Structure 1
Amino acid sequence: MLGLCLILLTMTYGIRFSFGVFFQPLQEDFGWTRAVTSTVFSAYMLLGAVFAVLCGWIADRYGPRIVFLAMGFLAALGLGLSSRVDSFWQLLLSYGLLVSAGNGATYPLVASLASRWFKERRTLALAISTSGVGLGSFLFPPFSSLTIDSYGWRTSFLILAALSLVITTTCSLLLRRHPSERALPSEEMGPYQGGSTPNAGVGGISGDFSLSRAMKTRSFALIGAIWFFYSLCLFMVIAHLVRYAIDLGVEPLQAASVMSIMGITSIPARISAGILADRFGRRWVAIVCAAVMAVSMLWLTLSSGAFMLYVFGAVFGAAYSGLGPSTNAIVGDTFGVRHLGSIMGALEVAWVSGAAVGPALAGYVFDSTGSYNAAFNLAVGASLVIVVLVVVVTRPQSKDTSPTVGEISG
């Protein structure tokens, strides 16, 4: 099951991180500005939040197989149609809408699926399955660049469409629900024992929160804020790091390699963080990772050359990748796993909002001041806010929506 989740995320994030490779040829062929071309990806990200909520709701009721089958078809259709576009609005519909419908919900669905199947070592399971993010960002951009150079961007879109259809469909047919989900879930809550879903059987079903009930709690708002600030920092770096490095006088190839270092580092870091989180507590690992993110962003403001940027890429890549599975596991610990697909889909709205605000904020700051330092310092503060939020998030009481006094060991 973990292997299937990893492959699905590798495909999704391979497509997502490859858009930057298509950026220049699309500009050259159609004469679009950077702002216009970027709008397609912004629409893709924003619409992904809508589809995450919808797909999470469907998966909670009918299982993941039918959802991923439909998503695989839509992603392939969108990529195939993208190879035939002749105008901006056509690409906005084919890529911004259809491809978003095809893979915008993959991460929360994979996270909820892994959480359902693995209770005792949930964070490690999430770390392994979500390593597809780093693997996809490492493998697919150079592959797409090679196919564009050899056959053109239209054919490259078609190749991605074929890969998405074959890989996603094959994995979807092999997916299945946890056996315990065949029983009707209980709505009664029991006392929280800490660390894992309370009163849960093997699959963690009894006493889990529904989406509507979870959204009424303070913990839901706090976790949403964690995801927002986390995404803000991450996508600020993804969008502007290469440009920042070039501004420092680093060669473009070296600047791009910083992103590769982030991707490579993230894979072992996710797994290591998962092992440590299951042993010492999810919250402690999340706190450490968020604090290291803050330090690395401060380091970025002081960087003056390629070597310092390479160090940043390695440290930041390890920190952000370790924070992901830890915070995902906290969601399952807080609300249970029965309705985790729809709950994570709703939280995806906060994630996508941060992804939209971070790059735009950094761009505005640079245009206003001629420097990224103020934006990066804001990211330092955002990372420290995550530390505080992780400390105060607790599982709500059984009979009301106020949080309990939980322990930091999570």
Structure 2
Amino acid sequence: MSHIQAPAATRAGGDQTRAPAYGWLIVAALSATTTVGYGVLYYAYAVFLTPMATALHTGTTVIAGALTCSVLASAAAAVPVGRWLDRHGGRALMTGGSVAATLLLLAWSRVHTVAVLYLVWTGIGVATACVLYEAAFAVVITWFRERRATALLAVTVVAGFASSIFLPLTGHLVDRYGWRDAILVLAAIHAAVTIPGHLLVRRPPRSVTGDREPAGRRKRANRSADDGQRRRRIVSTAVHDPGYWALAVAFVCSNAAVAAASVHLVAYLTELGHTPQFAATTAGLLGILSVTGRLATTATIRRASPATATAAMFFVQAVAAACLPVVGHGNLGAVVSVLGIGLGFGVSTIARPAILADRYGTAAYATISGILAVPLTVAKALAPLVAAAIRDATGDYLWVAEGIAGMCVVAGVALLAVRRLDAASTPPVERLPEKRLPEN
């Protein structure tokens, strides 16, 4: 199999594989910061669409475009952010990103033109690349080996409630204070939670990873040069591995399907004959179901490989999406279909870092993950627009639903193909020992 082999110290078991208590403190801190980050820097934006469009004398489509620019800016920043995390760790980058995001939120509360809105949200997109899941996962996986899936699950389960917390909170703030002052309150919450939370981030001590501390300045310099060469070799191993690109196909298709479903589900349920209230309430199950899906996937991983467990969840999603046009006219059929679709929400979020870290190790994880994050984020930004174009061209959501089902099938098949590609790989891709990098 073309993954990077763990060091002997960790393979041997013992105390080296147990993360110190401080690792769990970091998990708790990042659970809080990602929840607030997603709630303030992503989900809350939907509540501001109408009041901002009125204040800036434009349409909601133009206002929504600023969020799309933010997502694309995050994709553009993913690779350099990943390289920084591999070389220097997360503390400075994540803290700086939190400070920058807070200042940009303050600027957002005072925008008076669409051009400035787009500029501010492009900056927020760069900041989100530094502080949300990708950066948090890069920190967490360096602290955990045997309990890595549990640690990742803890972060994603808590953050899975971001929309459930911040959508109603933001709505209340806008109703009471108006949209500009509501943003100021959100900025204060963001600063109070994320800045001190990210200041807690540290790299693990070498006792966790089995490394020995190099003695002397020259040895440390030589080690730094060796580590740079190792990172480049690991990244080269990954990008020349067919299995890596099979994973890319799987998660791009999954991200596109989830993004299209989350944006258009309410409108589709309404088109099927349901009341707007029923449609919104049923679609609201997606956030809770995403947590359920993550828990189910993590439990399944204990009995099957992460790729197999995740593929199974994608197939469940595909069946549910394909059945929605047939059974979705009734209340029970609609709810059951949404249940199936929702179970796949968030699964790739927890599966992807676990699969990548297991396959390629942690020394260059953030760079490898950052390369993969570029097409994933672009898919997330563009899939809802493509779905809207298909709906307008065909006159209903039938082909959108079937397209979502098809993407889920492709995602599942691509994950299952990874094992077949590994078995056919001759000679096997070089395995490199996993080392810790020095603290900077």
What TM-score results when the alignment is normalised by the length of structure 1? 0.86
Give the corresponding residue for 1:265.
289
> Is the 1:274–1:322 contact (alpha carbons within 8 Å) kept by the matching residues of 2?
no
Contact 2:137–2:152 at 8 Å: present in 1 too? yes
What is the deviation of 1:210? 3.1
Residue 322 in structure 1 maps to residue 358 in structure 2: no
SS in 2 for 1:130: helix
Q: Do the aligned partners of 1:56 and 1:344 also contact (CA within 8 Å) in 2?
A: yes
1:160 aligns with 2:186: yes
What are the Cα deviations for residues 306-335 of structure 1, in whole angstroms up to 9, with x where unaligned?
443333333222222334312331111221
Moved more, 55-64 or 270-279: 270-279
For the 8 Å contact 1:217–1:403, the answer to whether it is kept is: no
- How many residue pairs are counted as aligned between the two chains? 381
**Cα 1:120–1:82 shift into 2, 3 Å:** same
Once the two structures are superposed, residues 362-410 of structure 1 have per-residue CA deviations (whole angstroms, 9 ceiling, x without a partner) of 111111111111122111111111111111225999xx99767xxxxxx
SS in structure 2 of the partner of residue 371 of structure 1: coil
Shift of 1:339: 1.2
Q: Is the 8 A contact 1:134 1:263 kept in 2?
A: yes
Correspondence for 1:79? 105
Evaluate the alpha carbon distance shift between residue 4 and residue 227 of structure 1 in structure 2; reply closer, same or farther with a 3 A threshold.
same
Whole-Å Cα distance in 2 between the matches of residues 63 and 395 of structure 1?
Answer: 34
CA shift, 1:348, in A, is 0.8
- RMSD of aligned Cα (Å): 2.5
> What letter matches 2:195 in structure 1?
T
Moved more, 217-226 or 134-143: 217-226
Q: Is contact 2:81-2:129 (8 Å) kept?
A: no
Is the 2:32–2:159 Cα contact (8 Å) retained in structure 1? no
**Once the 2 structures are TM-superposed, how far is the Cα of residue 119 of structure 1 from its aligned partner?**
1.5
Question: Are 1:299 and 1:312, in contact at CA under 8 Å, matched by a contact in 2?
Answer: yes
Q: Secondary structure at the match of 2:58?
A: coil
Deviation of 1:234 (Å): 0.5
| 1:208 to 1:300, Cα distance in 2 relative to 1, 3 A | farther
Which letter does structure 1 place at the counterpart of 2:270?
I
TM-superposed CA distance for 1:182, in Å, is: 9.7
2:116 pairs, out of 67, 85, 90, with 90
Deviation of the 1:248 alpha carbon: 2.8
Shift of 1:49: 0.9
The answer to whether the aligner puts 1:227 opposite 2:251 as a matched pair is yes
Q: Distance in 1 between matches of 2:147 and 2:408?
A: 26
> Which one has more relative contact order, counting CA pairs under 8 Å at least 6 apart?
2
Structure 1 match to 2:8: none
Q: Distance in 2 between matches of 1:135 and 1:79?
A: 21
- Partner residue in 2 for 1:335: 360
Q: How many Å separate the matches in 1 of 2:154 and 2:359?
A: 21
CA–CA distance in 2 between the matches of 1:312 and 1:8? 32
351-360 vs 275-284, greater mean Cα deviation: 275-284
The equivalent of 1:276 in structure 2 is 300
Q: How does 1:268-307 map to 2 (within 5 A)?
A: 268-302=292-326, 303-307=328-332
Correspondence list, 1:11-410, <5 A: 11-15=36-40, 16-95=42-121, 97-105=122-130, 106-180=132-206, 183=211, 210-302=234-326, 303-393=328-418
Task: Tell me if the contact between 2:85 and 2:138 (Cα under 8 Å) persists in the aligned partners.
Answer: no
Do the aligned partners of residues 29 and 401 (structure 1) sit closer, same or farther apart at CA in structure 2, a change above 3 Å counting? Answer: farther
Measure how far apart 1:213 and its partner are.
3.7
Contact 1:126 1:274 in 2 (8 A): no
- Give 2:222's aligned residue: none
Q: Secondary structure at the match of 2:382?
A: helix
Separation in 2, partners of 1:143, 1:29? 21
Question: Hey, what's the Cα distance between the residues in 2 that align with 1:55 and 1:216?
Answer: 21
Q: Provide the C-alpha distance between the structure 2 equivalents of 1:291 and 1:402, rounded to a whole number of angstroms.
A: 32
Change (3 A) 1:4 1:272: farther
**Aligned CA distance change for structure 1 residues 158 and 218 (closer, same or farther; 3 Å):** same
Distance 1:119 1:24, change over 3 A: same
Structure number with larger C-alpha Rg: 2
- Unpaired runs of 5+ residues, structure 2, are 1-25, 214-229, 430-440
Cα pair 1:290 1:320 within 8 Å, conserved: no
Distance 1:169 1:268 in 2: 29
Query: Do the aligned partners of 1:282 and 1:330 also contact (CA within 8 Å) in 2?
Result: yes
Q: Structure 1 pair 208/7, CA: closer, same or farther in 2 (3 Å)?
A: farther
Q: Secondary structure at the match of 1:337?
A: coil
Q: Using the alignment, how far apart are the partners of 2:314 and 2:292 within structure 1?
A: 17
Cα separation, 2, equivalents of 1:379 and 1:402: 37
Give the CA deviation at 1:249: 3.5
The amino acid across from 2:357 in the alignment is G
8 Å contact kept, 1:255–1:306: no
Which residue matches 2:6?
none
TM-score under structure 2 normalisation?
0.80
Unaligned runs of 5+ in 1: 186-205, 405-410
Deviation at 1:207, TM superposition (A): 9.4
> Retained in 2: the 8 A contact 1:14–1:139?
yes
Identity of aligned residues (%): 25
